[in-house]
Chain A
Amino acid sequence: MTLLTVEGLRVGYGKVEVLHGIDVTVAPGEIVALLGSNGAGKTTTLRALSGLEPLRGGLITLDGAAIGGMPAHKIAALGLAHVPERRRLFAPLTVEENLKLGGYLIRSQQAELKRRIESMYALFPRLLERRLQLAGTLSGGEQQMVAIARALILQPKLLVLDEPSMGLAPLVVRSIFAIIKRLRDQGMGILLVEQNARQTLKIADRAYVLENGTIMLEGDAATLAQDRRVQAAYLGGAAAA
């Protein structure tokens, strides 16, 4: 059973086509990594999934519902949460306001929303201390916590993360990854775009390697971690060191 199915996804900007037919699947309780160099089309893929980019072709199905071409806010309502690259917090708003916006779609259920925000504070106690601070003034790690917490409020079926480790200290990256694994263990499907390939392949179940808008390799993470081609394409010469 798959949670997310992407078939033949094509996306472009202006006259340039960036994705030339991508096929990806994610099952519930599975971490799937999307690897590739800068400009390979990883972020574009995620933006297309969550409805931020118009499709030029292809099918996207989330838990049985065709979501390709839907407006972003409807896709969010169907259970796909996207933590975008560089976190994209609402910087002049407080942490709490950011979290509340994460629950925008359940705004009529005040008590439930309050409970879910409390549970996020339980998950990230640091945020409770910072709840009235403006999100833009937080440290990078704290911002990433807000971004993830904000995405979790709606209890999505699929969590899509774009470079959650970017600019974070290794210790913080480790804790973020620990959270991701726990989410997976609770049955959530996770699609992860990462630069930190070695560590990513360690927590991922399966992975796809994207190059120039097409999928060059795919397979289970352990195998790919040993695949010389991945190292060559992605890790470069340093992998050999």
Chain B
Amino acid sequence: MIKPLLYAGLPLLMTIGGSAAFADTIKFGVPVPLSGPYASAGIDIANAAKLAAAKINAAGGVLGKQIEIVAEDDTCDAQTGVQAAQKLIDGGIAIATGSYCSGAALPELVAFHRAGIPYVLDAATNPKLTSMGFDDVFRTIGRDDEQGPFAGAYISGYLHAKKAAVIDDNTTYSKGLADNTVAALKKDGVDVVYYDAITPGQMDYSAVLSHVSSLSPDVIYYTGYFSEAGLLAKEAAALHVTAKMMGGDATNDTTLIKTAGPAAEGWTATTAPLPQFLSGAKDFVTDFTKAYNTAPGPYSAYEYDAVSVAAKAIADAGSTDPKAITAALHKIANYQGLTGSITFNSVGDRTIASYITVVVKDGAFAPGMKLDASGAWVPVQQ
């Protein structure tokens, strides 16, 4: 551990030393952005992983061993991502659970696959990630092409909108969701009067909004992230935009409400069922808030589930051999996670990805509507 440090000219070597140290734990690798513009999302994910591990460890761990979470910074960048993944592999992880940006997740996934290590994705929703033909990729979150049709159905079937505007932010996730939503809307006969992208970080979107409002859509659906969503809500209110403001699951964050203030009232987000609204997950929210002094991020619950389901698979396999874990993950059936029942299909996606809407009411997200088995819109019961 110390010796390589002496090679001052080769500081890289010191990272080797750190890895193989504690053989009595089972290591879970969590590659997420810990610096750069996406750091806040990555830190929320890593914290959720630690919370899940702590809970499992407190209950005796897995196979008699403790779980150790090793988070590595991928800065949402392909090059750094592959290095983070490789560092985790060399560090002897049994499984990887994590990811945030699809752009970094893909090369990470290739690296893990090559090393035979299973990867349970928590937040990267791009459909392509599970269609690479790898049998060791799983994900606890739904895919963009599943949320899009749900959003489309809500806009046409529940809101009975005739005209809709869809805005994305030109990131992989956002564009994918927007494309799928637009396709669903068109299929349902809704006139998509505007479909364009904004630049995240630009702050002022009133030019776009005033143009959109001149096209008088009934609904504006924004598929990007919460910070721009807050600005859109706020600026739309200032412009007296009458269209209903909606967003995808990445807009489901309290920052939206803090940014837009009263203008956030009525913002509707499509999302997978969140722990906040699931009776079984109340504890998670409390624990997370207590441990990290902040509410969980939008993907924290998915990461929590990813770690939990991975631990379950290790227990089922009775081994930390990656091949055995992969096989066990494929056999997982109806595991009750925070985000609902988890069963993986052949490519590793969840068989049932259910969605709900949440609405900002009195300064907080409140449960909205969901589709019941008969295809009717019913309120979500807490």
The answer to A–B direct touch (Cβ < 8 A) is no
Could you tell me which A residues sit within 8 Å of B by CB distance?
none
Binding site for A on B (CB under 8 A): none
